[in-house]
Amino acid sequence: MRKPKIAFVLPALNMGGAQRVVITLANALVDEYEVFIITFLNVEPFYQLNDNITLVHCVDSIQPSSNVIQAIKSNYILLKRINAIVKRNKIDILIGFLTSANVLATLVAIINRIPVIISERNNPYSEKTPKIWQLMRLIVYPKANYVVVQTEIIKKFFSNKIKKDRLLILSNPISAELTSKRINDNNKENLIFNAGRLTDQKAQHILIKAFAFTENDHWKLMIAGDGANRGKYEQLINELGLGEKVLLLGEQKNVHQHYNRSKIFAFSSIYEGFPNALIEAMHFGLACVSTNCPTGPSELIEDGKNGYLVPMNDEKAMAEKLKMLMNDENKRNLFGEQAIKTVEKFEVKNVVLQWKIIIDTCLD
């Protein structure tokens, strides 16, 4: 019997939350469907991909657009390439991730008269989406079979634009690659860990300053990820005299090793779609301190019960909570135990079942 052919569409499979979610879902669905991943760019997957998944790219590179005409031309080329891939492989359903891919996947689905599910991954209230994509999102998203978001706040943003029965909340799954690598032992080090791109959104400068306010003689702060702010953060670390204390690790394939080694996870974002790294840290039983940013942390952390929430952009408030955890092993252990229970619902088997239901509904 022929398996239905599903194709995820996204810009690239580099490091990132949406990319990890796509690969986690694709790996979990490969026994039920013939799975394709269509990317705009030819980038080596950062995360481990099942050998039975077909990976296809549209172009080797895209030049940054200097004007609207150039942008339209570049995206028209992508539209044609995605359409050709869909026709050639007789794809039955498309699943878009991230705004530009969502728009193009929906247009290709309309052309081919096949269903499409699209997934908005960030907070549209805060994300700086170019106006042309905001307009296209307004026009195109209502034509998708389902629009998947991750929180009630993001659902509210789209609620007057998309029919209620087509707008769904589905949480991110914790990567199966990670869930199998949690070590339940007490051999942890005095490490505070953060994972995320080095960008204004993730605001690691707040975390670095907060760490400087703590009594950190016997502690280190490690930050996994890379991005545009690396140079600024290196300068800040030197100015604060933390060169031996704060380590910018760059992109890390074996991030589970750092979750297993660390005692505390600190999250400093000013906005999120839904914070994958925070879910992962809670799964690994780390005591977590997070900004109460929109959206996600307050849906995961009950302040004082399974972690701490602090105001955004407040390094002194974050420092205070870090100091409390650095000096209280019992509190760390309690938060870690509660955190593991909190995020059990995000394990792959539970989330994938929900995705399978809406995929099969579209295919019926």
* Backbone angle region of 234, left / alpha / beta, with phi > 0 → left and psi within -120 to 50 → alpha: alpha
Q: What percent of the chain has pLDDT over 70?
A: 99
Enter the DSSP assignment of 307.
B
Enclosing H/E stretch for 140: helix 131-140
Residue 249 above 90 pLDDT?
yes
pLDDT at 122: 79
pLDDT at 199: 96
Alpha carbons 119 and 121: distance in angstroms, whole number: 6
Length of the chain: 364
* Backbone angle region of 44, left / alpha / beta, with phi > 0 → left and psi within -120 to 50 → alpha: beta
Residue 66 above 70 pLDDT?
no
pLDDT at 110: 98
The predicted model scores a pTM of 0.82
Residue 186 above 80 pLDDT?
no
Enclosing H/E stretch for 192: strand 191-195
The string over 215-247, giving b where at least 16 C-beta atoms fall within 10 Å of a residue's C-beta and e elsewhere, is ebeebbbbbbbbbebbeebeebbeeeebeebbe
Structural domains for the chain: 5-173+347-363 (3.40.50.2000), 177-345 (3.40.50.2000)
